[in-house]
Structure 1
Amino acid sequence: MCGNPNTRLLSRLVIDFLLLLAIYGAALVVLPQQLATAQSGFHCSDASLKYPYRQPWLTKVHLTVAVVALPAAFVLVVEMLRAAVVPSSAELRQRFVFVGVRIPSFISECYKAVGVYLFGLGLTLLAIRLTKHATGRLRPHFFDICQPTWGEEGESCSDYSAENSTRFLEHFACTEFAASQDLLALVRHSFPSGFASSTCYAMGFLILYAQARLFAPWLRLVRATLQLACGSLALVVCWERISTYQNHLADVAAGAALGSLIAIFATVSVAHLFAEVRVKRRQWPRNEQIYGYAGYYSRATYGY
């Protein structure tokens, strides 16, 4: 039964689905409910926590479009370009057959690209969630949102003199009705920047994917344009998180580095976008009609 091609293909689909379900379930459901955020303290004189709160102009809807809808459309456009302009003899194609129906290479390539991308995105979300809860770093607008008080008499930073303003405070409570519960729940989740990590992963993956897939000479200008657009979008998101005081500069830099590293891991180690295999090529001598000889040459392949 294991030798049946239909069974192997169906098993592969089920395993891929269960793996993605486990990763996203842990990152989006299990860990937020089970992990406790580290209780980090502060100094009343810490100027990096005294920025005003500004409403961000990038929401979770924009993030979803940038890391889900845009990459799916990007992969679709790239594979359509390849199917239209790249001759089938110029590349290696892995063909699948299911219940007697040959699956077009266009569909199989899109499935492999999207599958690897979603796997890397799940790892990114998992790393973001673990790091945010483990560090518990306060956001730049901490004082504006929380307005912390401590002690039985409800002391605050405004009651402290210059002599003891540098006292490190770990046990405090946010002022009741100072902000909504949603904002108070996020005030300790500054490091790393989730927006920067997710966007840099998505754009980094697409840049490397375009570099590997759009290798034809007549597609170089299209490839460079798409890569420039992806890099610009990542920079815009990083700048938005800093300019609206949602994250510290170090948080955004760490998030961008995290997303970029996972993008490299997904494309190089998981998808093997830039791997080369030896391909057997048969050549016929000019004066021989029956016998020939075989040679080998290296060709970049794509698959996982």
Structure 2
Amino acid sequence: MRDSVDFCYYVVIYSFENFHKTSNRFGMSLLLFLFVTAAISVIVPTLLGVSQRGFFCDDDSIRYEYRKDSITAIQLMLYNLVMNAVTVLFVEYYRMQKIEANINNPRYRWRNSHLHALFVRLLTYFGYSQIGFVMNVALNIATKHVVGRLRPHFLDVCKLANDTCVTGDSHRYIIDYTCTGPPELVLEARKSFYSGHSAISLYCAVWSALYIQARLGTVINNRIVVPITQTVMIMVGLGISFSRITDNKHHWSDVLVGAIIGMFIAVYTSVFWTDIFSNNTTESETQPLLLSTPVRPTRAQWSSEEEERPRGVIVSPSSASSVVSAIGGQESDDILLPVPTSA
């Protein structure tokens, strides 16, 4: 099965037995990801600005009235956070209480602290769900600035000066025009394609539905609860998307494209990045998210191994960790992996 990039990263560091380098590599990866998303969502729009597109005077699709949002941006962010966090918390708690009751879950150590397995899994899965959310937001912001499609209520907030569309051919394409409406509303009215509400709401719904299917659907003894829960999640996501049409904020095509992109990122993040369909058996839950840093054996331990080893047998560096684990007598520190490993 497919190993994640992050897991391979840690395996390489593990072979060098250097915890500090592991922390540095993970920090560098996180900084690189943040830089790329910042470049897409902040630097690119700042340098390019919002595209100034013209319009046809007889275009009825941009003559709708301005309405306030039924679902505000803050409510959408809270919906994303609560939906994913509650889903992960419930599923992992259920697995621990009902499925893994007879399994001795491993101790997770981070430096000198011990972490509960439920906290580790919640942080891991929720964290990766939010990576997909950040990808969605960054892509949506950059696309809106580059495309600059006019919202359905554009003419209502623009308030054209000098009755530009009254004189001349009504079908002519207007490029040189002046808006007298509130500048912030006019600027926002140029960001119709594609719907961020649709992309984020469907991303959250589809990711949560796939997560439930992967972590709970194969083990729960009920074929009604999971499908109904998934259906409700999808319906809520679709309801938020459709509200953008009734609020005159987006054209139907903006909502459709946003929904497709949101669902695509959800599938990509959950299946190919987080790999949630692996490590779902009760056997794999004994050590789902950690690697052990091998402890360097003492001189006495290596001497005893040399005496027991037949002449001519060479122990390679890659097998040193197995030798150390066989010696016993010392505890090893555990390194927390950011993603579940693949078989």
1:233 CA drift (Å): 1.0
**1:278–1:68 Cα change, 3 Å:** closer
8 Å CA contact retained: 2:45, 2:142: no
- Specify the code of the residue in structure 2 equivalent to 1:195: H
Q: CA separation in 2, counterparts of 1:14 and 1:225?
A: 40
- Specify the code of the residue in structure 1 equivalent to 2:145: H
**SS of 2:109's equivalent?**
strand
**SS of 1:269's equivalent?**
helix
- TM-score, normalised relative to structure 1: 0.79
8 Å CA contact retained: 2:100, 2:282: no
**SS of 1:217's equivalent?**
coil
From 213, 216, 222, the equivalent of 2:215 is 213
Output aligned runs, 1:4-23, within 5 Å. 4=17, 6-7=19-20, 10-11=23-24, 14-15=27-28, 17-23=30-36
Q: CA separation in 2, counterparts of 1:120 and 1:256?
A: 14
1:243 CA drift (Å): 0.6
Q: CA separation in 1, counterparts of 2:82 and 2:41?
A: 18
Report the counterpart of residue 106 of structure 1 in structure 2: 118
**1:228–1:9 Cα change, 3 Å:** farther
Q: Which moved more, 1:199-208 or 1:111-120?
A: 111-120
From 160, 163, 170, the equivalent of 1:165 is 170
From 99, 119, 144, the equivalent of 1:86 is 99
More strand by share: 1
Higher relative contact order (CA 8 A, sep 6+): 2
Q: CA separation in 2, counterparts of 1:62 and 1:136?
A: 25
Output aligned runs, 1:29-68, within 5 Å. 29-68=42-81
Report the counterpart of residue 87 of structure 2 in structure 1: 74
From 234, 237, 244, the equivalent of 2:237 is 234
**SS of 2:221's equivalent?**
helix
**1:192–1:118 Cα change, 3 Å:** same
8 Å CA contact retained: 2:279, 2:341: no
> Considering only CA atoms, is the larger Rg found in Structure 1 or Structure 2?
2
Supply the RMSD in Å over aligned alpha carbons.
Answer: 3.1
Report the counterpart of residue 191 of structure 1 in structure 2: 193
- Specify the code of the residue in structure 2 equivalent to 1:137: R
Q: CA separation in 2, counterparts of 1:26 and 1:88?
A: 46
- TM-score, normalised relative to structure 2: 0.71
**1:115–1:45 Cα change, 3 Å:** same
1:274 CA drift (Å): 2.3
**SS of 1:236's equivalent?**
helix
Output aligned runs, 1:131-150, within 5 Å. 131-149=143-161
Q: Which moved more, 1:231-240 or 1:67-76?
A: 67-76
Q: CA separation in 2, counterparts of 1:277 and 1:225?
A: 21
Q: CA separation in 2, counterparts of 1:303 and 1:42?
A: 52
8 Å CA contact retained: 1:201, 1:259: yes
- Specify the code of the residue in structure 1 equivalent to 2:120: S
- Specify the code of the residue in structure 1 equivalent to 2:174: L
- Specify the code of the residue in structure 1 equivalent to 2:254: D
1:266 aligns with 2:277: no
Report the counterpart of residue 156 of structure 1 in structure 2: 164
**1:194–1:280 Cα change, 3 Å:** closer
**1:101–1:20 Cα change, 3 Å:** same
From 245, 250, 261, the equivalent of 2:248 is 245
Q: CA separation in 2, counterparts of 1:81 and 1:4?
A: 35
* Aligned residue pair count: 274
1:223 CA drift (Å): 2.3
- Specify the code of the residue in structure 1 equivalent to 2:187: A
Q: CA separation in 2, counterparts of 1:71 and 1:167?
A: 48
**1:200–1:12 Cα change, 3 Å:** farther
Q: CA separation in 2, counterparts of 1:100 and 1:89?
A: 27
1:95 CA drift (Å): 6.8
Q: CA separation in 2, counterparts of 1:201 and 1:30?
A: 24
1:19 CA drift (Å): 4.3
